[in-house]
Structure 1
Amino acid sequence: MIEITHWDEFLRRYYDKRISEAVLSGKKSLEISYRDIFKFDSDSAKRLIDEPEDVLREIKEALSRYVIPVDAELQKFHIRITEVDNKKLIRDIRSEDIGKFIAVEGLVRKVTEVRPRLVEASFLCEKCGEKIKIEQIGSKLITPQKCSNEFCNSTKFRLLSEESRFVDSQRIRIQESPEDLKGGEQPQMIDVTLEDDLSGIVAPGDKIVVNGILRAYPREGRQAKSNVFDIYIEGNSIEIKEQEFEDLEITREDYEKIMELAKDPDICERIINSIAPSIYGYREIKEAIALQLFSGVPKILPDGSRIRGDIHILLVGDPGIAKSQLLRYVVQLAPRGIYTSGKSSTSAGLTATAVRDEFGEGRWTLEAGALVLADKGIAAVDEIDKMSPEDRSALHEAMEQQSYHPSFEIVLADGTKRKIGELVDELFERFPERIAEGVNCEILRADGLDLELLSTDFKEVFRLRADRISRHVAPESFVRIRYSNGAEILVTPEHPVFVIEDGNISTVEAKDVKKGTTAPGFDELKEEFTELRIENVEILPNDGELRAEWVYDVTVEPTHNFISHGLVLHNTVSVAKAGITATLKTRCSLLAAANPKSGRFDPHEMIATQINMPPTLLSRFDLIFPMMDTPSKELDERIARHILSVHYAGELDAIKRNFVGSRIREKDVEEAMRIIQPPIEPSLLRKYIAYARRTIFPVLSEEARKRLEEYYVGLRRQAESGDAPIPITARQLEALIRLSEASARMRMSEVVEIEDVERVIRIMEGCLRKVGIDPETGRMDIDTITTGTTKSQRDRIKTIIEIIKELEGEGGARESDVLERAEELGIPKHRAAEIISNLIRNGEITTPRYGYLKLVTRY
């Protein structure tokens, strides 16, 4: 009783007002700072660490008797302890910590769905009607051994869910933060159990401190329990540490410094020079990165669509020119900055992955990828040219559109044929409570629906139940593919299609499938696999008779395929399958780096064709900067002097810090460091950016709007002749607006002025003149980036096709004649030969016999 009186005094002295506030605001918990307990009684604080269960129970009992002026059931309140001093790195947790109250900081890597956990079960005896309540401890249901009625002793019971007590529960996995790791250390992880009001408050990517009791449980062996134990934290409280730019705390002193900076007429120069000062040069790139940090203004239109404010930048350059260092520096400036490599992404890839695994105990588990971890920050992706096709799709949001047209006929395992659109819509109407919202899609769990399809591992065919069905917002066009067995499919352009290449089964996007390609099939009568030929491929607009609002899919796990009409067809593999993607957003700016295809840039080739990325992804970047390592005596001397000065400063600092009695003075170190000292300290720059993003939402002035319009219309007018290439599209205009807004924010201005527009036009033109120029004509051609083919190249291709059409007879056109005719029309022989090779590779022309060319007939 002494201890409870002791805690009564603590609550009265420190938490009298907060208890009433917690009740009035509808909270279920009272947050108590460990520091308050330490101030009140250091022995009690130490006892909380060593005997957490006893101390938490005593505080709860004291709270339950507390008298406040409003009605409340304080006995049901949880006691949540925050700001715990006993902080541990995950790798430093030891056996002596078991049962202790600890605090662990880290990044949320995985979360399960929030689901009810039974804490007190009510059972009904089916013989006599006696009701028995049993407290549930652990993960397995505890049932009565026999009826408590001495005259009954029955062993048959029914769980009364409505009279049982449940609590929300969730399991999360956190990993060590990158800044806590040394050298090449791999981050270690620990699981955390959360209950009631702690459930569902964190998402993958959040940086948090978990306070709780360290628990241990024996590993499950095949035959007996192991004597080696695993550990987890029974979560008591969560503190969300990582802040977005907009949430960064700014003190009165910070505000005064920010306002002082904003008055500086050279503020833009100071900000640009504060980005990676240890890296010499690249002023234009640093200027673009500065704009990226400030971001444009995101807008939500009346129809619900969103115009992004995020600015995406791609750096493509020769090896050894500081691309990676730039990326790493920028990540340090953003509160939520994540650095990853395209060739070493985790299993979650760049977005996220959802699986049912042992971690979630059968529940869906969502694991964060780099873009999610960088939500509302900057994701720096190095070697983006080496990333997997799945991650590439995730980057330009193709996953939402890998589906079938509603008219596609699907054959179920029992032979029933249904149009996929009608089937899915019907099930959505029957089970509305199962529908989960995804990204531009809706998903319905198919467990219990007995929806069976034939599937395969390409060794044998078997029945599998559908795991989920979905419908996605339809794209602007479809691809119709006809096979040699007469079957046709109508799919979205990014839909994966099985093909056979060099004897191996692989997938290509529907829009890239070529006529004449071999594909796997299944002869249901002979019950054997066959090879089919793709006879025709055509792209059709989402219009007229084909007009569709939704496209559909049926997903089969784990094969991700089904057999229909003798075809082996792929289905969507999307994160949305878990139905928990609604909480995950990838609203981040992307700063990516890539190497040229052949390692170094070839000055004689178009830069855009040397970037190993599809045009669909390349065109998503607002700015693309080629970084060439071109020898120049004057520039090389300046770079060498800068690098040597940086190293000299570091050497002086190392001597001063490590050798007592060193003759190196502090003044000497400061003088040497001046070359790499940013004009604005990184911590203050972060707050300046945060304040601008939080409070400044610039509007285009009349002059700025007029200048942007003149620039856009002026460039577009160059293409009016029909023969001229298109130099710019609406996508670049939107990028110019975003960049102009970011420039105004950098000046802390509510209005986008003409100087902002001129700045971004200069940057944009600099990029386009390096990447978007047709080397043969010297004219700006945006198709260089968006399609990978310039207007002059398209004209030459058209000319070659016309020549073949003109010269071909029954057996085709002689290749030597085609090359000669092309040369007469101004196309060099080596260029004409390249075009012919590409046309053969793309299935546009065939070689019926050696030395002859024939156009492929289009149906």
Structure 2
Amino acid sequence: MARAENAEIIDRFEEFYRTYYRNEIGDLAQKYPNERKSLYLDWGDLYRYDSDMADDFVAQPSQMRDYAEEALRLYDLPVDVKLGSAHVRVRNLRQHTGIRDIRADHVGNLVSVQGIVRKATDVRPKMRNAAFECQRCGTMTRVPQSDGDFQEPHECQGCERQGPFQINFDQSEFVDSQKLRVQESPEGLRGGETPQAIDINIEDDVTGKVTAGDHVTVTGILRLEQQGNQQEKSPIFDFYMEGMAVTIEDEQFEEMDITEEDKKRIVELSSDPEIYDKMIGSMAPSIYGYPDEKLAIILQLFSGVAKSLPDGSRIRGDLHMLLIGDPGTGKSQLLQYVKKLAPRSVYTSGKGSSSAGLTAAAVRDDFGDGQQWTLEAGALVLADQGIAAVDELDKMRPEDRSAMHEALEQQSISISKAGINATLKSRCSLLGAANPKYGRFDEYEPIGEQIDLEPALISRFDLIFTVTDKPDEEKDGRLADHIINTNYAGELFTHRESVPTSNISQEEVDNVTEDVEPTIEADLLRKYIAYAKRNCFPTMTEEAKKEIRDFYVNLRSQGASEDAPVPVTARKLEALVRLAEASARVRLSDTVEKRDAEKVVEIVRDSLEAIGVDPETGEFDVDMVEAGTSKSQRDRIKNIKGIINELEDEYDDGAPIEEVFERADQVGMDRDKAEHEIEKLRRQGDIYEPVTDHLRTV
């Protein structure tokens, strides 16, 4: 009876193949076994054909897979090919199971999980069927191998003795195997939960396709593995998955479900003339002020368009932004809010991050079989196609910061550790926050000199904002009102939630919370960003091109004369283009218009004026930030060194310091500036004092 039932299921599968997969099976037959070994079935097709069969496939996947593969072997092919060991792999289940939602009820079922590959072992051959040769009589005994321990024969089938046996590798069957550890995607986690992971064993033609950092959807059969060792076995079991199909999800925000109603609201919002103000109002409303910084962060969330050129090269569309400011100005709060908003984001803080933790670590552990080196993806890889928020940048060790250079510009991370050479993708935007060199800004020193980060790192940021905290009675009054009201709103809300006999009405809470409510709720804003990034790829209009070109060329022309500083580099031009594209995306527009260009020129001008103006000359000077010294300062250093050089030959003990000041005065340099430069040169070890009040160059 059971056999007739089995035959019926196999017949149903054959009929299903003929109805839905005729072409795919023909293609598989032509490419089998060198190019393709598997037939991929869409679970939705199976459900449309026969819903009971599709449900059985989820409930009893091992059995149904055997029937499906048997039906494939019996299928009449036009070419003379036997699909002897072709696999049938099912994917696109109706719903995904969260890794943290897997329970005992799922064991033995077909489940689909989404996440990011945290580790992947090398592809290794696994013995499926072992052939043992008896050393006494030469009889061959075959023992099938399962996932558990290695099975050896108990006795020889020929001479009935218990060995000794030797494995005959030529007669044994092997299959490629690989083990992956897939961790929950960071965007699914809210409220600081620790991400959970599941190990997945994959075999044959699906191995070797993914690396650490890839976002994947894996469909497979949930199995159990006993904890403990041979001596002490535990009643607790671990889950693992026998992977059937692995799909690399390269699309951003694949987890964002945008309904028709959401689309309607998004399109309605995009045509609102005050959309930019509404966006700014939705960005961390509990933090008072900072309209420019908030607009820039919104543009960063939307990002420019990543462009691929015909020669295969790629221009990044992601914007990098740095906030440098006094303590207590709400920088970390902004970063935390961005982590909440961005669909794929990672937050990390300077002191707690090493270069390996940011990029990728080569780890040696027992993952897989035996000790082997595997790559573990770091924060910038996990934030691929999202935002990496790095707080306390200035507290990191310089060698750890230098690990970010390649990730910021080339958007990849190259690793050469422990014999592993790999390049991982890190197409993310970086939002950094740092304090000035002395903890607070000193208003008597140029801001460029107070930024204690390497020039190579700073020049990669598209926008740098300085947040200074100066007392101002009117502004402080408004800030105090805002903070007190925010806290009062929180008090009322908490009181109503926590005290059973609370006499505070919902209306009172609503009245107070109006100020701190985002104008567009966070959930809709996330969907808005996802929708814009998915559907909008704006192109430049001639007016926008002209506006950006004129701004750049005018700025550059200020540095045309011989002794003028270089006001701005070509990197800023790319930044302008990216910002203008992001501005068009905010309006869901397919074209970058003049108003977008004007808006971003204003933002870049503000950013440059804050840090890139030489306080002595009032001119834009890119080296203030990108090299750490302004042109006027470099000229002074050159002059001072020149004066010391001239004078040290005239005096035996070196150049007398008073004489140096006199000469400096003759070339128009103030005494205090000359003293400042001499002190700086002395600290750097470029000059020294052989005798008191005499100087020599090194």
Give the TM-score normalised by the residue count of structure 2: 0.82
Q: 1:783 to 1:347 in 2, by over 3 A?
A: closer
Give the aligned partner of residue 365 of structure 2.
357
Give the aligned partner of residue 612 of structure 2.
772
Return the match for 1:235 from 242, 249, 253.
Answer: 242
Offset of 1:98 from its aligned partner?
8.2
| Distance (whole Å) between structure 1 residues aligned to residue 25 and residue 497 of structure 2 | 54
| Distance (whole Å) between structure 2 residues aligned to residue 843 and residue 191 of structure 1 | 55
Offset of 1:713 from its aligned partner?
1.7
Give the aligned partner of residue 100 of structure 2.
89
Return the match for 2:539 from 682, 688, 699.
Answer: 699
| 1:713-761 deviation line (CA, Å, top 9, x unaligned) | 2112212222221111111111111111211222222222221111111
Which is worse superposed, 211-220 or 731-740? 211-220
CA contact 2:437–2:451 (8 Å) conserved in 1: yes
Give the aligned partner of residue 77 of structure 1.
88
CA contact 1:318–1:599 (8 Å) conserved in 2: yes
Structure with more of its chain in helix, by fraction: 2
1:396 is paired with a residue of what secondary structure?
Answer: helix
| 1:321-378 deviation line (CA, Å, top 9, x unaligned) | 2111211211222211111112112684211122443224444411111111111111
Give the aligned partner of residue 299 of structure 1.
307
Q: 1:81 to 1:144 in 2, by over 3 A?
A: farther
Give the aligned partner of residue 382 of structure 1.
391
| 1:809-835 deviation line (CA, Å, top 9, x unaligned) | 254322342234324433333432332
Q: 1:769 to 1:84 in 2, by over 3 A?
A: closer
Offset of 1:314 from its aligned partner?
0.3
Give the aligned partner of residue 624 of structure 1.
464
| Distance (whole Å) between structure 2 residues aligned to residue 601 and residue 324 of structure 1 | 17
Give the aligned partner of residue 160 of structure 1.
170
1:328 is paired with a residue of what secondary structure?
Answer: helix
Alignment of 1:537-686 (within 5 A): 574=416, 578-581=420-423, 584-658=424-498, 664-686=504-526
Return the match for 1:113 from 85, 105, 122.
Answer: 122
Offset of 1:709 from its aligned partner?
2.1
CA contact 1:173–1:192 (8 Å) conserved in 2: yes
Letter in 2 for 1:294: F
Give the aligned partner of residue 728 of structure 1.
568
| 1:374-428 deviation line (CA, Å, top 9, x unaligned) | 1111111111112233431221129999xxxxxxxxxxxxxxxxxxxxxxxxxxx
Letter in 1 for 2:387: I
Give unpaired runs (5+ residues) of structure 2. Answer: 29-37, 78-82
Give the aligned partner of residue 253 of structure 1.
261
| Distance (whole Å) between structure 1 residues aligned to residue 271 and residue 106 of structure 2 | 53
Letter in 2 for 1:321: T
Q: 1:8 to 1:346 in 2, by over 3 A?
A: farther
| Distance (whole Å) between structure 2 residues aligned to residue 836 and residue 779 of structure 1 | 24
2:425 is paired with a residue of what secondary structure?
Answer: coil
Return the match for 1:274 from 253, 269, 282.
Answer: 282
| Percent of pairs with identical residues | 43
Q: 1:86 to 1:722 in 2, by over 3 A?
A: closer
Count of aligned residue pairs for this structure pair: 672
Return the match for 2:344 from 331, 336, 340.
Answer: 336
Give the TM-score normalised by the residue count of structure 1: 0.68
| Distance (whole Å) between structure 2 residues aligned to residue 789 and residue 177 of structure 1 | 40
Q: 1:98 to 1:6 in 2, by over 3 A?
A: closer
Q: 1:246 to 1:754 in 2, by over 3 A?
A: farther
| 1:535-588 deviation line (CA, Å, top 9, x unaligned) | xxxxxxxxxxxxxxxxxxxxxxxxxxxxxxxxxxxxxx736952342xx21111
Letter in 2 for 1:762: E
Return the match for 1:134 from 143, 146, 169.
Answer: 143
Return the match for 2:581 from 717, 730, 741.
Answer: 741
Q: 1:64 to 1:799 in 2, by over 3 A?
A: closer
Offset of 1:84 from its aligned partner?
7.3
Residues 1:813 and 2:655 are matched in the alignment: yes
CA contact 2:408–2:430 (8 Å) conserved in 1: no
Q: 1:690 to 1:48 in 2, by over 3 A?
A: closer
Q: 1:114 to 1:669 in 2, by over 3 A?
A: farther
Give the aligned partner of residue 311 of structure 1.
319
Q: 1:70 to 1:276 in 2, by over 3 A?
A: farther
1:590 is paired with a residue of what secondary structure?
Answer: strand
2:588 is paired with a residue of what secondary structure?
Answer: coil
| Distance (whole Å) between structure 2 residues aligned to residue 93 and residue 69 of structure 1 | 37
Q: 1:753 to 1:75 in 2, by over 3 A?
A: closer
Offset of 1:135 from its aligned partner?
2.3
CA contact 1:107–1:206 (8 Å) conserved in 2: yes
Offset of 1:786 from its aligned partner?
0.8
1:59 is paired with a residue of what secondary structure?
Answer: helix
1:276 is paired with a residue of what secondary structure?
Answer: coil
2:340 is paired with a residue of what secondary structure?
Answer: helix
| 1:203-237 deviation line (CA, Å, top 9, x unaligned) | 426376776435334546xxx74445773513346
| 1:280-314 deviation line (CA, Å, top 9, x unaligned) | 21100111111111211222334443221111000
Residues 1:719 and 2:559 are matched in the alignment: yes
Give the aligned partner of residue 759 of structure 1.
599
Give unpaired runs (5+ residues) of structure 1. Answer: 402-437, 442-572
Residues 1:709 and 2:535 are matched in the alignment: no
| 1:502-550 deviation line (CA, Å, top 9, x unaligned) | xxxxxxxxxxxxxxxxxxxxxxxxxxxxxxxxxxxxxxxxxxxxxxxxx
Offset of 1:117 from its aligned partner?
2.6
Which is worse superposed, 702-711 or 106-115? 106-115
1:727 is paired with a residue of what secondary structure?
Answer: coil
Q: 1:279 to 1:249 in 2, by over 3 A?
A: same
CA contact 1:89–1:176 (8 Å) conserved in 2: no
RMSD of the alignment, in Å? Answer: 4.4
Letter in 1 for 2:61: L
Q: 1:680 to 1:3 in 2, by over 3 A?
A: farther
Q: 1:196 to 1:684 in 2, by over 3 A?
A: farther
Return the match for 2:677 from 835, 841, 845.
Answer: 835
Residues 1:368 and 2:208 are matched in the alignment: no
Offset of 1:767 from its aligned partner?
0.9
Letter in 2 for 1:216: E
Which is worse superposed, 801-810 or 303-312? 303-312
| 1:448-472 deviation line (CA, Å, top 9, x unaligned) | xxxxxxxxxxxxxxxxxxxxxxxxx
Q: 1:8 to 1:107 in 2, by over 3 A?
A: farther
CA contact 2:326–2:469 (8 Å) conserved in 1: yes
Which is worse superposed, 101-110 or 648-657? 101-110
| 1:11-36 deviation line (CA, Å, top 9, x unaligned) | 96997766768757854455658x97
Q: 1:747 to 1:665 in 2, by over 3 A?
A: same
Give the aligned partner of residue 271 of structure 2.
263
Q: 1:69 to 1:398 in 2, by over 3 A?
A: closer
| Distance (whole Å) between structure 1 residues aligned to residue 413 and residue 96 of structure 2 | 44
